[in-house]
Structure 1
């Protein structure tokens, strides 16, 4: 059943091909700007900064641009809207775990987005600035696992934010705070390795670096199984919290008409 939901999630997003092309183009423009900025920072620092040279800094940017849509660091309020309208009652009546059902569909979305919007970013980066990627095939297999875990972790965090709709009438406040924290602490703006010590420690205490920084580190060979194991622990914790939070919210749910 969950495999079917994965396929349906892939097919659902593959219907928006024009949007995928437009998104790939937009991401490429932002990638060119970010790559220029980070390469200039490395050059100003003397050619290397926290283990990054100009090419590896550009690679970090292009991998981030390739993964940002798949991991989905942006707004997702589908569950919150269903809670607000009462449609979540249908999810409760289905013979499937709601959280795992949404997760399976989201992984399908991520798979299509990675192919349609992610790979073109790497092609643009390779042509314009060059990218430094490992040659061993095993690194890509481990990297793909890390990307899948990062996507699932992102979903788990977005799921928890959406659960606040059981208690709040307006989700804009929690979602805005979540977006600000995520975009900074996940490594989207600059690598987490560039953070000052106190901010790096704060980021390490959250699941946010496991969404984007960890997959990039694995794909570039800066990290290995240890980073993937940390991702697995964060995912397990988020899934447990997500299921408990949903069960707690469902107990107080009141839908008009019963």
Structure 2
């Protein structure tokens, strides 16, 4: 564990050097927060109670959404993009010589990235939104704790998805097309555009059952106290996807490693 903690710590320090990029990102998320608020206020004015949310829930969703986009990695993350590039160029062979499992190594790097983004970038949009709008906040300590756990689980689910996309480069010439397609799925099914509770019928059921829902929608619903299966049910939903994705990632790593050896990489 000491090795992986050291990797995560160094990753945290690495991302802390990009102060201008972080400040620019905070500004961008804040601006988009106001843009989305204008859209959501119009939509909820036309359809009050849409998806079971009142106006305060909808506006709170916007600011939580903007704060979590980068920590969770809804648009992808530089860590797993770097991994995909190393697979594409063949530099991944160097990673396989390290005294650590490939997935654990990159999970530690991503954990450091996510921790920095969450601590420095995550709360500012919510703070700005709270100064301008009447937002909804958790009423009980267990809700705060559940939200913290759900955000952690959401980051792990996101990493599991992004890691599998990065490893696809072992079987295809270039994984960038898969990365772009995965980002579109992430935007649509995570709640980064609209809360999944407003999706109708079968498409809504599919969206709310997908792993992307566990990255953004579930943590925000826990914050709002809107989980249909209760707090425990929401966390078990996330945990189930974590197990599925990390086991899949572990198996894919094993198969990919054998492929590199066979090809003499």
**Same fold at TM > 0.5:** yes
How far has the Cα of 1:182 moved from its partner? 1.0
Aligned pairs for 1:207-218 (under 5 A) are 207-218=211-222
How far has the Cα of 1:206 moved from its partner? 2.0
1:106-136 CA-to-partner distances (Å, cap 9, x unmatched) read 1121111112111111111101222101132
Aligned pairs for 1:109-258 (under 5 A) are 109-223=113-227, 224-253=231-260
Richer in helix (by share): 2
Q: Indicate yes or no: 2:4 matched with 1:2.
A: yes
In 2, the alpha carbon distance for the partners of 1:92 and 1:230 equals 33
Mind listing any 5+ residue stretches in structure 1 that lack a counterpart? none
In 1, the alpha carbon distance for the partners of 2:264 and 2:51 equals 59
Q: CA RMSD in A?
A: 1.6
CA contact (8 A) 1:89 1:255 kept: no
How many residues in Structure 1 have an aligned counterpart in Structure 2? 257
CA contact (8 A) 1:60 1:216 kept: yes
How far has the Cα of 1:257 moved from its partner? 7.6
Q: Which moved more, 1:68-77 or 1:231-240?
A: 68-77
TM-score by length of 1: 0.95
Which position in structure 2 is the counterpart of 1:27? 29
How far has the Cα of 1:138 moved from its partner? 2.2
CA contact (8 A) 1:21 1:116 kept: no
Which position in structure 1 is the counterpart of 2:14? 12
Which position in structure 2 is the counterpart of 1:68? 69
Runs in 1 of length 4+ with deviation above 4 angstroms? 254-258
Mind listing any 5+ residue stretches in structure 2 that lack a counterpart? none
Which position in structure 1 is the counterpart of 2:40? 38
How far has the Cα of 1:17 moved from its partner? 1.2
CA contact (8 A) 2:11 2:109 kept: yes
In 1, the alpha carbon distance for the partners of 2:85 and 2:261 equals 15
Aligned pairs for 1:81-92 (under 5 A) are 81-92=85-96
Change (3 A) 1:39 1:110: same
1:201-246 CA-to-partner distances (Å, cap 9, x unmatched) read 2223420100100011112222212111110110011000001111
SS at match of 2:218: helix
